[in-house]
Structure 1
């Protein structure tokens, strides 16, 4: 079958068209014909850094890609909830030991997938899994509920735009930081209050929107030094969920506010075969929320095919994409 393969890692590494053997369905797995995949930041990090810097990277030659939507062709022994012809979506490949989705077929662990939302196209569904699971897990671990004031850092990003919508669905009053007119408009379209972090200091928007008390929950999809801003914006005993905590940081501000910090690394079930069924359960719940009209993925305006994958990765790393970069297989 056709695939796009990496023969090396690094800043100049390029995907090349390759023919690889079709996978055989195994116990507890389903064979899915992939209709679409999407590009996530972690995918671009793997291409650039490789196994020396990022041990979760696949062996070379590597087939990357984690998200997918497609149609079940066969199922292995022990699978009872999927049948040929079912439309499914999930995040099930692209890591060490797991073939990626930049190809035509995947032998996916049935625990990691769910039936595709009925109201979404294959391309739209492929944009959901990694970022949707991340947003859902982060809000749930932080205890999101009705009546809270929740701040999403990076509210128009892949994870952020879904976190904004999920927080609204949970009944919270939602605020989100970003910059640029299009990104501000996107945040506002979800019923949240957009905050331009380049125009307004943390202390100013905390005073304006919380009377100086701070936000109950902060979902940080930006990471790095932005965690310091999140500490400043948080209320006493608040919860912060972050998806990017790869740095050394003085936790003193968090200590004096009694903050709870939740590090969200949604790849753990895939990497360690640990509670994989939770991902399938979250995807099933997200499908219900989507089909009820409370959650809609934002796809970037640029469309790509499998052979365009190098351009798709460049689009995401350029910082120009708004929403998810999706690849039709």
Structure 2
């Protein structure tokens, strides 16, 4: 099969299009003919940082975590899937799991689900990693109907999904963005947009919560921005963050009695534990999408398999609106 491989870690030019052996089916797994894969920030981090990250695969490697495609064969012990089924998942591209920048993947059946009938292969490929992250974060933070929810970075990959899911769960949703395009997308998806460049935390807390703060904050920006989340949170508020690799003063979180939930959705893939949870979440995301309450935004630029490096560059440029998708 054709695959984009890397022989070394580095910039986006390290990708090479090669012929490699088609992966062999094994028990508990499904052979999928891949139609599309999407690029996540963690993919670009692995490619550029390599062994500095404990999740990096051994070289040579096939990167790419997300996929959508069609089942070609099922392994021993697999139930619920048949040849010809259209599926999606996040199942490779790190540690010892070969990735999705290839014509085929052998994926653990617990890391995939049937894709939504009303989503294209490109849209479905854009959803798994960000969808699981957003869903897990909101549920771990105990989202409830009528809560005031703030999403930091609501036009980004994870953020625009968290925004839609929070709305689906009945919350009153607000979201920060940094420009006209970003804010327009946030409003289009049903949230109240907040320009963090022109409105201070104090200003929008006063404006939208009568100074009391938000019940739940999904912080897809993280790092130093978590201090803004602490400031924007209500007393005993809940904060879910996807970027916690930082050092912060937790004093304000202490005095406000905040709960902090760190979301690292790769744990089931890395440790082969709780993988059934990813199957469950993907099934829920399919149901929500088919109900018309969730649609991933795909960037206007498209890329072929041989253009994987350009797709990585597109994501890194910050110019993409929505998820960058590679057609296989």
Partner of 1:105: 104
Cα pair 2:12 2:309 within 8 Å, conserved: no
Partner of 1:273: 272
Q: State whether structure 2 residue 199 is matched by structure 1 residue 200.
A: yes
SS in 2 for 1:79: coil
Consecutive unaligned residues in structure 1, runs of 5 or more: none
Cα pair 1:13 1:47 within 8 Å, conserved: no
Partner of 2:219: 220
Matches within 5 A, 1:42-53: 42-51=42-51, 53=52
Partner of 1:125: 124
Cα pair 1:13 1:48 within 8 Å, conserved: no
TM-score by length of 1: 0.99
Q: Distance in 1 between matches of 2:31 and 2:215?
A: 43
Partner of 2:94: 95
Q: Distance in 2 between matches of 1:289 and 1:241?
A: 21
Q: Which runs of 4+ in 1 moved over 2 A?
A: 10-13
Q: Distance in 1 between matches of 2:238 and 2:227?
A: 14
Matches within 5 A, 1:127-206: 127-206=126-205
**Gap change, CA 1:12 and 1:326, over 3 Å in 2:** closer
SS in 1 for 2:301: coil
Q: Distance in 2 between matches of 1:307 and 1:55?
A: 27
1:11 CA drift (Å): 3.8
Q: Distance in 2 between matches of 1:112 and 1:190?
A: 27
Cα pair 2:12 2:313 within 8 Å, conserved: no
Alignment RMSD: 0.7
Cα pair 2:187 2:193 within 8 Å, conserved: yes
Partner of 1:34: 34
SS in 1 for 2:82: coil
**Gap change, CA 1:109 and 1:12, over 3 Å in 2:** closer
- C-alpha distance after superposition, 1:36-66 (max 9, x if no partner): 0000000000011002x10101111110000
Q: Distance in 1 between matches of 2:69 and 2:243?
A: 29
1:10 CA drift (Å): 2.4
SS in 2 for 1:24: coil
TM-score by length of 2: 0.99
Number of positions where the alignment pairs a residue of Structure 1 with one of Structure 2? 328
Q: Distance in 2 between matches of 1:38 and 1:312?
A: 9
Consecutive unaligned residues in structure 2, runs of 5 or more: none
